[in-house]
């Protein structure tokens, strides 16, 4: 009996030891998530240059392997409004370039995804079943479709549809940039600068680098930052009204600052104080964000750390917004040159021209700065102006 008890106790101790080792060992699922995040970020990054060249047979063939990696689908396809431009994955022997669009790849509405539990295919033994089609929209017009297809019997999950939607947003954003480049030949210089000032390449690459830095240490944070980046990019290239409420602009300014804080950590301190009664004032889209980005680039980056304050208040019938940094500052004469569009400062002069075009010469920006004492940019606009409405 004592021998039996000893054996049982021995087994129990061994089992406890094995369980303890398993608990101390890093969960395999987390390691898999890290690798998946690395792969997805790499796929999203390397396909950007090809998409920037526009939607064509060649660019579609180059980016589809990366889109398949990004979506983890059995097959993926890119098409224009009439036919398949490129196809990658299972079923490639009969779903070929130049063929009619896969039936699911023509959503009934250009602004919606379409999910099909079983695509229609005349080829016997086609391995493909469910599919998700997302529209590619540039300038408010449908220019094509991105389709992710899955094997027969595979159920499409909410994560699948979300991933396909984000991938389509990324494709559309790059195609939008291509459209803006082509517009350079047709638009006046001031209009071109207004379009190109919508988003800064400097910010894009810094944001992606910051996200990549979290992949190993905090995959969940990396995932959330990718979502913030996608939402901010969609806002920057919105094809709706050129005006938004101050509340909306501040919402995306906070997303921008979260991405910058991912890069600087505690070295970037932010104070936000905006009176509730001015939140419904209408501002040109991306008018406050460039001023905040300017404070980060020229106030915080040059010192390696710093503080930014965003203060909003109402003054009679007007709204005053101030963006202040405690950076190195600049010569006041140089600040006035930037405001006039001389020698750089595209973001600032772009905001100035749009404010004055919207509200008149009595409104716009003022810069208060000096070497060694930081910079304050003050924006003044009316609480209400007839004909200027948010989307």
What pLDDT digit, counting tens, does each position of 162-213 carry?
989 888 888 888 888 777 656 533 433 444 345 444 556 667 777 888 788 8
pLDDT band at 14; cut points 50, 70, 90: very low
The rounded distance, in Å, linking the Cα atoms of 106 and 368 is 53
What pLDDT digit, counting tens, does each position of 307-336 carry?
999 999 999 999 999 999 998 888 898 888
What pLDDT digit, counting tens, does each position of 125-163 carry?
889 888 999 999 887 788 888 999 999 888 899 989 898
pLDDT at 315: 92
Reply yes or no on whether the pLDDT at 343 is more than 70. Answer: no
CATH topology of domain 192-382: Heat Shock Protein 90 (3.30.565)
Spatial neighbors of 49 by CB under 8 A, at least 6 apart, are: none
What pLDDT digit, counting tens, does each position of 209-250 carry?
878 888 878 888 888 888 888 888 777 766 566 788 999 999
**Which tops the pLDDT comparison, 34 or 312?**
312
Reply yes or no on whether the pLDDT at 273 is more than 60. Answer: yes
Reply yes or no on whether the pLDDT at 369 is more than 50. Answer: yes
- Domain assignments of the chain as residue spans, ordered by start: 28-185, 192-382
Which DSSP category does 90 fall into? Answer: T
What does the pLDDT average to over 7-16?
39
pLDDT at 246: 95
pLDDT at 279: 94
Q: SS3 for 186? A: coil
What does the pLDDT average to over 336-358?
79
Which DSSP category does 187 fall into? Answer: S
How high is the mean pLDDT of the chain?
A: 79
**Which tops the pLDDT comparison, 379 or 356?**
379
Spatial neighbors of 16 by CB under 8 A, at least 6 apart, are: none
What does the pLDDT average to over 328-348?
80
- Percent of the residues in the chain that have a pLDDT greater than 70, as a whole number: 77
Phi and psi for 281 in degrees, rounded to 5? -65, 150
Q: Does domain 28-185 have CATH number 3.30.450.40?
A: yes
**Which tops the pLDDT comparison, 304 or 257?**
257
Element of type H or E holding 143: strand 141-151
The rounded distance, in Å, linking the Cα atoms of 288 and 332 is 21
Element of type H or E holding 54: none
* Cα pseudo-dihedral 11, 16, 18, 23, rounded to 10: 170
What does the pLDDT average to over 351-364?
87
Q: SS3 for 380? A: strand
pLDDT at 193: 47
Q: SS3 for 225? A: helix
What pLDDT digit, counting tens, does each position of 64-110 carry?
988 888 888 999 999 888 888 999 999 888 887 877 666 544 444 55
Reply yes or no on whether the pLDDT at 305 is more than 50. Answer: yes
pLDDT at 345: 60
């Amino acid at each position: 009996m004592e021998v039996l008890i000893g054996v049982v106790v021995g087994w129990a101790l061994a089992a406890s030891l094995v369980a303890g080792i398993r608990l101390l060992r890093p969960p395999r699922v987390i390691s898999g998530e890290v690798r998946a995040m690395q792969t997805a970020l790499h796929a999203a990054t390397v396909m950007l240059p090809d998409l920037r060249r526009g939607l064509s047979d060649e660019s579609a063939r180059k980016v589809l392997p990366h889109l398949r990696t990004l979506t983890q689908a059995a097959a993926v396809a890119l098409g224009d409004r009439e036919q398949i431009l490129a196809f990658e994955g299972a079923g490639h022997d009969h779903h070929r370039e130049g063929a009619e669009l896969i039936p699911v790849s023509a959503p009934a509405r250009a602004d919606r995804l379409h999910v099909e539990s079983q695509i229609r295919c005349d080829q016997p033994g086609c391995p493909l079943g469910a599919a998700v089609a997302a529209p590619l929209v540039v300038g408010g017009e449908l220019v094509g479709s991105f389709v992710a297809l899955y094997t027969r019997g595979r159920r499409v999950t909410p994560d699948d549809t979300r991933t396909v939607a984000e991938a389509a947003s990324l494709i559309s954003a790059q195609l939008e940039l291509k459209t803006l480049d082509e517009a350079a030949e047709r638009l006046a210089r001031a209009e071109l600068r207004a379009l190109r000032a919508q988003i800064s390449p400097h910010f894009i690459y810094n944001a992606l680098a910051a996200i990549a830095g979290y992949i190993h240490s905090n995959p969940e944070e990396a995932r959330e930052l990718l979502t913030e980046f996608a939402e901010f990019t969609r806002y920057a290239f919105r094809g709706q009204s050129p005006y938004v409420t101050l509340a909306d602009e501040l919402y995306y300014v906070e997303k921008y600052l979260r991405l910058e804080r991912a890069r600087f950590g505690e070295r970037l301190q932010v104070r936000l104080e905006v009176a509730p009664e001015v939140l419904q004032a209408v501002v040109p889209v991306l008018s406050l964000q460039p001023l905040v980005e300017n404070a980060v680039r020229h106030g915080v980056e040059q010192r390696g750390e710093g503080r930014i304050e965003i203060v909003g208040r109402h003054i009679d019938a007007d709204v005053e917004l101030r963006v202040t940094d405690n950076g190195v500052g600049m010569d006041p004469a140089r600040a006035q040159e930037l405001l006039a569009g001389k020698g750089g400062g595209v973001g600032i002069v772009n905001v100035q021209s749009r404010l004055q075009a919207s509200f008149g010469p009595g409104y716009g920006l003022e810069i208060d700065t000096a070497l060694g004492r930081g910079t304050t940019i003050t924006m003044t606009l009316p609480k209400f102006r007839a004909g200027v409405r948010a989307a």
